């Protein structure tokens, strides 16, 4: 399929690179393509960034037929722009699409389109330390009828937003509250799919945690309310007695690309990594007897987010000394060096965009 390029006639002024924030500024263009059950994907185009006009009955508004991805384009010290494991995002997009009965994309084509789009927006990839161009592919159903039925029309869009450093002053430990009332996902549900609905279901718990001064919630499984799943919108890892323990992908957990990369790097560093069920009882025991040495969240946005405090019910526990663990810092340094191209990429994880 050919990609039509419709350049903007009104390029925007570039932002203040020192005050980007997250997801507030958008580039000049967006990638769009449409799907219907008769013609498949068609009309691939890069067009000026702007509002989407949708029918008020569009499926996405009523039945939440929406999935998305999140990845970044990084500016290397030599000025080149690169992506980190973008083929993994395309693969996951299709896994999410399959779960929600949305049309899948041709991964190779979607990756090619993504690269062409980023190449066009290259001047929007910031170069200050920790900054990047955040890419947000999303796909939704837009049948113009209220009937609940198989999706016949869909749209795939990619927008891009230059974002600031997640940690302006280096890594910063966060306070986490264990969520005991709401659940994010259940096995058999959509937990492993990156879909907007999972986020909608998690807002209330996030708000309640924020009211109490906690930045994220630690989610437990939806059946026994006992096993640790994720932290906010990140995967979670624990260093217990020298071994790294992370929840196994049971179907209700999002298979993070940062998680996968951390596991590979940790094994290379010589750590044993256990992907298994980890109960709150085991975690609280490890907190009490001091065997919990470190805890961190991992995801594209923050890369590594060290956990300094855990609250369980009314009890508050400091994780080790409450600071940034050695391994959390090492993982962060190793991964970000590959992503921003300040260290060689021995894994072939990065793709230069020309
Ligand atoms: C996107 C996401 C993650 C992290 O995935 P990465 O590929 O590492 O960015 C973890 N949990 C949830 C719920 C997510 O949506």
Ligand 1, atom 13, lies closest to the CA of 233
According to the model, what pLDDT value does residue 172 have? 87
Structure tokens at 169: 């002053």
CATH architecture of 4-164: 2-Layer Sandwich (3.30)
11 C-alpha vs ligand 1 centroid, how far in Å? 32
Locate the ligand 1 atom nearest the alpha carbon of residue 235 and give its number: 10
Closest CA to 165 of 19, 319, 314: 19
105 C-alpha vs ligand 1 centroid, how far in Å? 20
Locate the ligand 1 atom nearest the alpha carbon of residue 198 and give its number: 13
DSSP H helices, the chain, are: 59-63, 86-99, 107-120, 196-211, 257-268, 280-288, 326-339
Whose structure tokens read 């609280």? 284
Does the C-beta of 194 come closer than 6 Å to ligand 1?
yes
According to the model, what pLDDT value does residue 171 have? 84
Locate the ligand 1 atom nearest the alpha carbon of residue 258 and give its number: 8
According to the model, what pLDDT value does residue 166 have? 84
According to the model, what pLDDT value does residue 167 have? 77
249 C-alpha vs ligand 1 centroid, how far in Å? 12
CATH architecture of 174-336: Alpha-Beta Barrel (3.20)
Sequence-distant (6+) residues with CB within 8 A of 87 are 107, 111
Structure tokens at 127: 């170069």
Structural domain boundaries of the chain?
A: 4-164, 174-336
Does the C-beta of 235 come closer than 6 Å to ligand 1?
yes
Structure tokens at 5: 């390029």
Q: Encode the chain (354 residues) as per-residue pLDDT tens digits.
A: 999 999 999 999 999 999 999 999 999 999 999 999 999 999 999 999 999 999 999 999 999 999 999 999 999 999 999 999 999 999 999 999 999 999 999 999 999 999 999 999 999 999 999 999 999 999 999 999 999 999 999 999 999 999 998 877 778 899 999 999 999 999 999 999 999 999 999 999 999 999 999 999 999 999 999 999 999 999 999 999 999 999 999 999 999 999 999 999 999 999 999 999 999 999 999 999 999 999 999 999 999 999 999 999 899 999 999 999 999 999 999 999 999 999 999 999 999 999
CA atoms within 13 A on the CB side of 220: 16
113 C-alpha vs ligand 1 centroid, how far in Å? 22
Locate the ligand 1 atom nearest the alpha carbon of residue 299 and give its number: 8
144 C-alpha vs ligand 1 centroid, how far in Å? 31
According to the model, what pLDDT value does residue 324 have? 94
């Amino acid at each position: 399929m050919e990609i039509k390029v419709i350049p903007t006639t009104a390029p925007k002024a570039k932002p203040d690179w020192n005050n980007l924030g997250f997801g507030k500024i958008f580039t000049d263009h967006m990638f769009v393509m449409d799907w219907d059950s008769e013609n498949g994907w068609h009309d691939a185009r890069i067009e000026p960034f702007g509002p989407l006009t949708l029918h008020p009955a569009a499926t996405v508004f009523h039945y939440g037929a929406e999935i998305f991805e999140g990845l970044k384009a990084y500016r290397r010290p030599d000025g080149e722009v690169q992506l980190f494991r973008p083929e993994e995002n395309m693969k996951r997009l299709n896994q999410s699409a399959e779960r929600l009965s949305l049309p899948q994309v041709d991964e190779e084509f979607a990756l090619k389109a993504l690269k062409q789009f980023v190449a066009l927006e290259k001047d929007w990839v910031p170069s200050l330390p920790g900054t990047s161009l955040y890419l947000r592919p999303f796909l939704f159903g837009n049948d113009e009828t209220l009937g609940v039925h198989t999706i016949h029309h869909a749209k795939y869009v990619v927008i891009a937003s230059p974002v600031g450093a997640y940690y302006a002053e280096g890594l910063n430990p966060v306070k986490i509250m264990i969520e005991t009332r709401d659940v994010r996902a259940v096995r058999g549900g959509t937990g492993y799919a990156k879909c907007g609905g999972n986020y909608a279901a998690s807002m209330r718990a996030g708000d309640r945690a924020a009211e109490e001064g906690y930045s994220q919630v630690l989610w437990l499984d939806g059946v026994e309310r006992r096993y640790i799943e994720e932290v906010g919108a990140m995967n979670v890892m624990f260093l217990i007695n020298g071994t790294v323990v992370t929840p196994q992908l049971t179907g209700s957990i999002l298979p993070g690309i940062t998680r996968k990369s951390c596991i590979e790097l940790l094994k290379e560093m010589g750590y044993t990594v256990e992907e298994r069920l980890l109960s709150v009882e085991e975690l609280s025991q490890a907190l009490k007897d001091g065997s919990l040495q470190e805890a961190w969240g991992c995801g594209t946005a923050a890369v590594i987010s060290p956990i300094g405090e855990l609250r369980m019910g009314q009890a508050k526990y400091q994780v080790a000394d409450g600071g940034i663990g050695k391994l959390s810092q090492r993982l962060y340094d190793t991964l970000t060096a590959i992503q921003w191209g300040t260290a060689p990429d021995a894994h072939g994880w990065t793709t230069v965009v020309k």
